[in-house]
């Protein structure tokens, strides 16, 4: 079946040195979902995300991407379905111009020149990079580099984008700009898996949260649910975002997920947040 689903079935992963990073993880992510993968350091987030594009293969169980068992394809083939944005964009940039960088994937696929150019332009427009096409990627700001790395993934038109802590080391304005553009990519029908320990990003952008603790999946539900689930918050060492904590202090029946939602509720004097 080619419905773009990601499916993990009873997945264990043990590193060669014997470290057990994932145990018995089963889950399905449908096409077009925006999922935040949460959990403390060492809980298995990076391991899980690297299983999705075949960088790692499960030591037990199966990982299926769009109906394909990741054991049966190469990383290069899986990269057409799952784009992986590393934390540090400097590790991902290889070309002398932004234009060349965005076109690397389509060129490597040997697409016709007009298709390469079309994809490069579409990705650069989507990520607001048109004015930077002739710049050297390594001379850009960190946030711009992150957007170029994202654009080069988008140009491959994958079903799924895995973003591993994409806003680390960005300031607040850059962080919002990058996340708003990630949301634009999501709006084109891509599935997004955002690996993060920043709960406010999960609340503002994700529809669904998964939480790992010590290699086990301990939560699968909405941001609003996790923000009030004391047991999960404690086990995964997570703290709800300040805006959700404010809602609790003010005795709101449900947590707010964003400043906009808090402002709207406070200004209108409503006691409840809008529906899911």
Which secondary structure element, helix H or strand E, spans residue 198, and what is its range?
none
Residues 6 or more apart in contact with residue 211 via CB below 8 angstroms: 38, 39, 217, 218, 219, 220, 226, 232, 235, 236, 238
Smallest gap from Cβ 227 to ligand ADP, in A, equals 20
Residue whose CB is less far from ligand ADP, 44 or 240: 44
C-alpha distance across the termini of the chain, in Å: 30
The answer to whether 86 contacts ligand ADP (rule: CB under 6 A) is: no
Residue whose CB is less far from ligand ADP, 97 or 237: 237
Residue whose CB is less far from ligand ADP, 42 or 61: 42
Which secondary structure element, helix H or strand E, spans residue 191, and what is its range?
strand 191-195
By rule CB under 6 A, what string of x and - marks binding of each residue 19-38 to ligand ADP?
x-x-----------------
Q: How far apart are CA 228 and CA 130, in angstroms?
A: 42
Q: How far apart are CA 185 and CA 20, in angstroms?
A: 34
CA distances in angstroms from 10 to 17, 59, 174, listed in the order given: 21, 10, 38
Q: How far apart are CA 51 and CA 41, in angstroms?
A: 17
The answer to whether 43 contacts ligand ADP (rule: CB under 6 A) is: yes
Q: How far apart are CA 206 and CA 220, in angstroms?
A: 12
The answer to whether 41 contacts ligand ADP (rule: CB under 6 A) is: yes
- Please identify, among the stretches 11-19, 109-117, 131-139, 230-238, the one whose residues bind ligand ADP according to the rule CB under 6 A: 11-19
Smallest gap from Cβ 111 to ligand ADP, in A, equals 34
The answer to whether 146 contacts ligand ADP (rule: CB under 6 A) is: no
- Please identify, among the stretches 45-53, 55-63, 135-143, 250-258, the one whose residues bind ligand ADP according to the rule CB under 6 A: 45-53
Q: How far apart are CA 11 and CA 13, in angstroms?
A: 7
- Please identify, among the stretches 41-49, 96-104, 199-207, 234-242, the one whose residues bind ligand ADP according to the rule CB under 6 A: 41-49
- Please identify, among the stretches 12-20, 151-159, 222-230, 235-243, the one whose residues bind ligand ADP according to the rule CB under 6 A: 12-20
Angle at 83 between CA 16 and CA 60, to 5 degrees: 30
Residue whose CB is less far from ligand ADP, 50 or 81: 50
Smallest gap from Cβ 44 to ligand ADP, in A, equals 4
Binding positions for ligand ADP, rule: CB under 6 A: 15, 17, 19, 21, 39, 41-47
């Amino acid at each position: 079946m080619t419905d773009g689903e990601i499916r993990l079935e009873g997945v264990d992963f043990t590193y060669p040195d014997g470290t057990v990073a994932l145990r018995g993880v089963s889950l399905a992510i449908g096409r077009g979902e925006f999922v935040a993968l949460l959990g403390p350091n060492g809980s298995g987030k990076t391991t899980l995300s690297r299983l999705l594009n075949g960088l790692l293969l499960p030591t037990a169980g199966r990982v299926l991407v769009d109906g394909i068992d990741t054991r049966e394809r190469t990383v290069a083939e899986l990269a057409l379905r799952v784009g992986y944005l590393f934390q540090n964009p400097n590790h991902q940039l290889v070309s002398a111009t932004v234009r060349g960088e965005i076109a690397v994937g389509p060129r490597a696929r040997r697409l016709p020149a007009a298709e390469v150019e079309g994809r490069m332009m579409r990705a650069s427009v989507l990520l607001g990079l048109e004015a930077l096409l002739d710049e050297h990627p390594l001379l850009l700001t960190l946030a711009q580099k992150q957007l170029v790395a994202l654009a080069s993934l988008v140009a491959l038109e994958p079903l799924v984008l895995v973003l591993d802590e994409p806003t680390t080391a960005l300031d607040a304005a850059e962080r919002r700009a990058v996340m708003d553009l990630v949301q634009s990519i999501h709006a084109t029908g891509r599935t997004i898996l955002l690996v993060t320990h920043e709960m406010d990003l999960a609340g503002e952008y994700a529809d669904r949260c998964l939480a790992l603790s010590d290699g086990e999946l301990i939560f699968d539900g909405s941001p609003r649910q996790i923000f009030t689930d004391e047991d999960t918050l404690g086990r995964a060492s997570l703290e709800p975002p300040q805006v959700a904590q404010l809602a609790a202090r003010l005795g709101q029946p449900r947590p707010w997920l964003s400043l906009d939602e808090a402002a709207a509720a406070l200004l209108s004097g409503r006691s409840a947040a809008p529906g899911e």
